[in-house]
Amino acid sequence: MTAADAGRLRDLDERALVEACLANEAGAFDLLVERHRRAVYRLCYRFVGNHEDASDLTQDVFLRAFRGLRAFRGQSSIATWLHRIGVNVCLNRVSGKTAAIEPLESQQIVDTRTETASDRLLRNERSARVRAAIAQLPPKQRAALILRTYHDMSHQEIAGLLKSSAGAVKANVFHALRGLKRLLGEDL
Amino acid sequence: MHLSIEDLVDLAEGVRPESSAPHLAVCASCRSQLADLRAMMAAAVDADVPEPSPLFWDQLSRRVREAVEAGEAPRPAWNRLPVYSIAGVALLAVTVIAAVKTFAPSARPSSSPVASLTPPSAAAIDQVDRADAADALRDDVWLTFVADLAAGVDADAARDEGLDAMNAEEAVMQLNDGELRELERLLQAQIRNQGD
């Protein structure tokens, strides 16, 4: 792919980029992955609580997206569409597997330069405990909490995604938060 | 009466103001539950995902690319079969039509070099489980059958169809499961027609 081709691809809007992917244009799907990989990875990490599984799931999400590109009709944004695929992939995975939480020392440290080293360490430890607790919640509770807390989805939107009702989503959020309280105890 | 789960969640998320739940003012239990929910929500919000190494993103993109290349490419609905496969199936159809015509008792000359071949009967093909069709078609028997059929095809007729560059046996090897089922259907249809 020439630099000119790469530049042209980068200027494409979402729909045009999808068309380029469907036309098997070199570099088009790579660019789509590049634009959305971080959001997809973060979603997956929330579900599984460790880097290795989150990487595998992210790869799976993009592979499924590639295979299903024909079905993308542009009624939602690519980000929303990938998000839906991601949630389904994660739910499928977590419903059949106990989350493997990575130890704190294996996790990358968030670079927040205004914090003191001890503040940062404390915050990272606390975050790791919360993530580990979230990853131990039952799948539906975990999904409801993650989608509501980190992805700003309404109860109704989550209900649509989880094939549930808004009331059931609220109940799942409630029990998820109670579960967190139980798992974290007085640690926080 | 205590607040419901839905009420507590709405209050904790700020969807509803506390003023809409006067019960809170008189119930320590509900106030405590609401405070716990809010504390856990705040803890969850604060728990950020650790940022992986910058090198990870390129590695991830490479893994996705490799996985995609190992799988099938997305194609528009009007063109799900690659060109070579469409040509392959069409050539095989031409091959089958031409060869089955050759095999037909009324038309088959006794000196035909392929007269000793025994193509699978329609009944035999019907017995092939569709789910196993791909495997069955990949069997040597089938490959031999199709290759032998191809050997007897009128090359000019195939060329007239724009299919002259295809090798039937190679085409079969390249067909995916859907295409193989289509080939099976063509074979069945043609053999049934010959039986009419």
Query: How far, rounded to the nearest angstrom, does the alpha carbon of residue A157 sit from its chain's CA centroid?
Result: 16
**Burial class (CB within 10 angstroms; exposed 0-12, middle 13-18, buried 19+) of A105:** exposed
Element (H, E) at A168: helix A166-184
Q: Which of A58, A62, A177 sits opposite B40 (nearest CB)?
A: A177
Let me know whether A58 and A142 are in one domain: no
Check if B22 contacts A (Cβ < 8 Å).
no
Query: Where a domain ends, among A43, A67, A101?
Result: A101
pLDDT the model gives residue B185: 66
Query: Where a domain ends, among A101, A125, A146?
Result: A101
Distance, in Å, from the CA atom of A55 to the CA atom of A48, rounded to the nearest integer, reads: 10
Let me know whether B90 and B151 are in one domain: yes
Sign of the four-CA dihedral B122, B123, B126, B132: negative
pLDDT the model gives residue A178: 96
Residue A175 or residue B188, greater confidence: A175
- Would you give the DSSP letter of residue B79? G
Q: Which of A66, A128, A171 sits opposite B68 (nearest CB)?
A: A66
Nearest partner of B36 among B8, B64, B75, judged by Cα: B8
Q: Which residues of A touch B71 (CB under 8 A)?
A: 63, 66-67
pLDDT digits (tens, 9 = 90+) for B122-172: 444 444 434 444 444 444 344 444 444 444 444 444 444 444 434 454 555
Q: Which of B61, B71, B73 sits opposite A34 (nearest CB)?
A: B61
Which amino acid is located at A15 in the chain?
R
Residues B63, A55: C-beta atoms closer than 8 Å: yes
CATH code, domain with A27: 1.10.1740.10
Query: Where a domain ends, among A66, A101, A136?
Result: A101
Q: Which residues of B touch A51 (CB under 8 A)?
A: 50, 52
Let me know whether A177 and A97 are in one domain: no
pLDDT digits (tens, 9 = 90+) for B98-129: 554 454 444 444 444 333 333 444 444 444 43
What average pLDDT does chain A have? Answer: 85
Let me know whether A45 and A135 are in one domain: no
Contact between B3 and B30 under an 8 Å Cβ cutoff? The reply is yes
pLDDT the model gives residue B89: 52
Residues B36, A181: C-beta atoms closer than 8 Å: yes
Using pLDDT thresholds of 50, 70 and 90, give the confidence band for residue A5.
confident
Query: How far, rounded to the nearest angstrom, does the alpha carbon of residue A171 sit from its chain's CA centroid?
Result: 22
Nearest chain A Cα to B72, which residue?
Answer: A67
3-state secondary structure of A137: coil
Dihedral, CA of residue B31, residue B32, residue B36 and residue B39, to nearest 10: 60
Check if B61 contacts A (Cβ < 8 Å).
yes
Element (H, E) at A89: helix A78-94
Residues B71, A145: C-beta atoms closer than 8 Å: no
Q: Is the pLDDT of residue A20 over 70?
A: yes
pLDDT digits (tens, 9 = 90+) for B27-86: 999 999 999 999 999 999 989 899 998 899 999 999 998 988 887 554 443 333 333 344
Let me know whether B93 and B32 are in one domain: no
Nearest chain B Cα to A134, which residue?
Answer: B44
Asked if residue B63 is part of any domain, the answer here is no
pLDDT the model gives residue A102: 57
Let me know whether B92 and B10 are in one domain: no
Using pLDDT thresholds of 50, 70 and 90, give the confidence band for residue A99.
low
CB atoms within 10 A of CB A147: 24
| Radius of gyration in angstroms for the set of CA atoms belonging to chain A, rounded to a whole number | 19
Q: Among A17, A32, A33, A40, pick the best mutation site for testing chain B contact (most B Cβ within 10 A).
A: A33
Tally of domains in chain B: 2
ipTM of the modeled complex: 0.77
Domain that holds residue A3: 1-101
Domain that holds residue B141: 80-195
Q: Which region among A93-107, A133-147, B57-71 has the lowest average model confidence (pLDDT)?
A: A93-107
Q: Which region among A66-70, A83-87, B71-75 has the lowest average model confidence (pLDDT)?
A: B71-75
Check if B54 contacts A (Cβ < 8 Å).
no
Distance, in Å, from the CA atom of B177 to the CA atom of B172, rounded to the nearest integer, reads: 10
Tally of domains in chain A: 2
Using pLDDT thresholds of 50, 70 and 90, give the confidence band for residue A97.
low
Let me know whether A116 and A179 are in one domain: yes
Let me know whether B168 and B88 are in one domain: yes
Q: Which of B12, B49, B65 sits opposite A45 (nearest CB)?
A: B49
Q: Among B40, B53, B57, B78, pick the best mutation site for testing chain A contact (most A Cβ within 10 A).
A: B40
Q: Which residues of A touch B41 (CB under 8 A)?
A: 149, 177
Check if B10 contacts A (Cβ < 8 Å).
yes
Residues A108-142: b if buried by 16+ CB within 10 A, e if exposed: eeeeeeeeeeeebeebbebbbbbbbbbbebebbbb
Contact between A24 and A13 under an 8 Å Cβ cutoff? The reply is no
Asked if residue B64 is part of any domain, the answer here is no
Residues B74, A184: C-beta atoms closer than 8 Å: no
Using pLDDT thresholds of 50, 70 and 90, give the confidence band for residue B188.
low
Residues B74, A69: C-beta atoms closer than 8 Å: yes
